[in-house]
Amino acid sequence: MKDNFRHAGKSWLAATGAGLALLLLAAACVRNPYAATNKVYRRQAKALARQLLAPPALLADSLPATPYWVGTVNFNLRKPSYVIIHHTAQHSTEQTLKTFTLTKTQVSAHYVIGRDGQVYHMLNDYLRAWHGGVARWGGITDINSVSIGIELDNDGTEPFQEAQLGSLIKVLASLKRTYNIPTANFIGHGDIAPTRKNDPSALFPWQRLAARGFGLWYDASVLTDTTAAPFAADSLGQPLPGLTPREALRIVGYDTQDLNAAILAFKRHFAPASLTPVLTEQDRRILCNIYRKSL
pLDDT tens digits, one per residue of 149-182:
999 999 999 999 999 999 999 999 999 999 999 9
pLDDT at 37 over 50: yes
Amino acid at 197: K
The string of DSSP codes covering 60-124 is -TTSPPPSS----S--------EEEEEE--SS-HHHHHHHTT-GGG----SEEE-TT--EEE-S-
Second CATH level (architecture) for the domain 82-210: 3-Layer(aba) Sandwich (3.40)
- Backbone φ and ψ for 121, nearest 5 degrees, come out as -90, 95
pLDDT of residue 240: 57
pLDDT at 81 over 60: yes
Catalytic pick among 94, 151, 162, 247? 151
Give the pLDDT mean for 205-217: 98
What is the percentage of the chain residues whose pLDDT exceeds 70?
Answer: 85
Strands 119-121 and 147-152: unpaired
d(CA 271, CA 52): 45
Would you state the torsion angle of the CA atoms of residues 285, 287, 288, 293, taken in this order, to the nearest 10 degrees?
A: 130
pLDDT tens, 216-271?
999 999 988 876 666 765 555 555 566 889 999 999 999 999 999 999 999 999 99
pLDDT of residue 59: 72
**Do 80 and 179 form a contact (C-beta atoms < 8 A)?**
yes
247 is catalytic: no
pTM of the model: 0.86
Domain boundaries, the chain: 82-210, 220-294
